[in-house]
Structure 1
Amino acid sequence: MNKLAFFFLFVVTVAFGQNDTAKQNINEVVDAWHKAAADADFDTYFNLMTTDGVFIGTDATENWQNAAFKTFSKPFFDRGKAWSFSALERNVYVNEAENFAWFDELLDTQMKICRGSGVLKKTNGEWKIAHYVLSIAVPNDKVAALVALKKESDSILTVQLKQ
């Protein structure tokens, strides 16, 4: 193979190679995870997370380690309706070794537009969600009204957390 052909093959592989495949696989995992919640498929949902996975919810008290999140979530899944999030847009980033990734997404949810962000690890050849943060997206011109709404409950929680 001549040097020019080798260089072209190298550039094409780097530009359009495994990183795109990894991103596609990650999108499939996150989409399947959201679908499992919408379908109330408890086992699939939690099998797409690492055993030490973390879910940070929209409430300031929601910092769920995997076992506690399973316990909290189980009644919702058992009723046949957990939650339904569908991605409006998603950005995926993969490290050079392609064993670690992070993403952010805007979601259509029952709470209207939310933002999710997360971290995935490749474990035994499979991408798993290790950490996920869900936030309610608040338009900047609505923040003052939201702060007023939260003032009392946040003040109480702040005192508790400082103790």
Structure 2
Amino acid sequence: MKRLIAAFLLFVASLGAHAQPVDPALARAVNAFVDEWHDDAAHARMAYFDKIAPDGVYIGTDKHELWHRDEFKAWADKFFKRGSAWSFKSVRRNVYASPDGQFIWFDEILDTPNMGPCMASGVIRKTAKGFEILHYQLSFAVPNELAGQVMGLVKNFEAKPQAAK
């Protein structure tokens, strides 16, 4: 599965050189879809998971967080049961599309109350029923000037026995 995802991402990346200017109507629809997806999480609506393709992947900030949709849904259940899972607000989003508009990819900078600034990217497939997220990857936005300190913290954490999962 990892090879399939890697091959797909390489394919999508190769489309970047041939990406057409995104039709403004498509960009608005994609922005509305992703904004609603984030809002679903903020309000703990299970529709959040319906927007992820059955074969979709969510990669979180921890190195162990590579979730297939149903695994991610099971893991996140405790957060959705409390009435609010997580809150991501896009500060900036770039949208790109394949020439036929069937595959869309985006990158975004997020304002998150609990994690501070984050960055994410995603791949969306356009289907007869609408959009579905194939791949989403979330990461912390660490300023380059702090990277050495952060890497030191991670290195020290990884050296501890409890860090091995």
Alignment TM-score, normalising by the size of structure 2: 0.81
Question: Where does residue 48 of structure 1 map in the other structure?
Answer: 51
Question: Where does residue 3 of structure 1 map in the other structure?
Answer: none
Are 2:35 and 1:36 aligned?
no
Structure 2's unaligned 5+ residue stretches are 1-19
Aligned pairs, number: 144
Whole-Å separation in 1 of the counterparts to 2:154 and 2:83: 31
Aligned residues with identical type, % of pairs = 41
Structure with greater Cα Rg: 1
Structure 1's unaligned 5+ residue stretches are 1-14
Q: CA deviation at 1:156?
A: 6.8
Question: Where does residue 70 of structure 1 map in the other structure?
Answer: 73
CA RMSD, Structure 1 to Structure 2 (Å):
2.1
> What letter corresponds to residue 141 of structure 1 in structure 2?
E
Question: Where does residue 144 of structure 2 map in the other structure?
Answer: 140
Are 2:103 and 1:90 aligned?
no
Whole-Å separation in 2 of the counterparts to 1:152 and 1:123: 45
Whole-Å separation in 1 of the counterparts to 2:25 and 2:131: 12
Question: Where does residue 151 of structure 1 map in the other structure?
Answer: 155
2:127 to 109, 123, 126: 123
Question: Where does residue 103 of structure 1 map in the other structure?
Answer: 106
> What letter corresponds to residue 114 of structure 1 in structure 2?
C
> What letter corresponds to residue 69 of structure 1 in structure 2?
F
Whole-Å separation in 1 of the counterparts to 2:155 and 2:149: 10
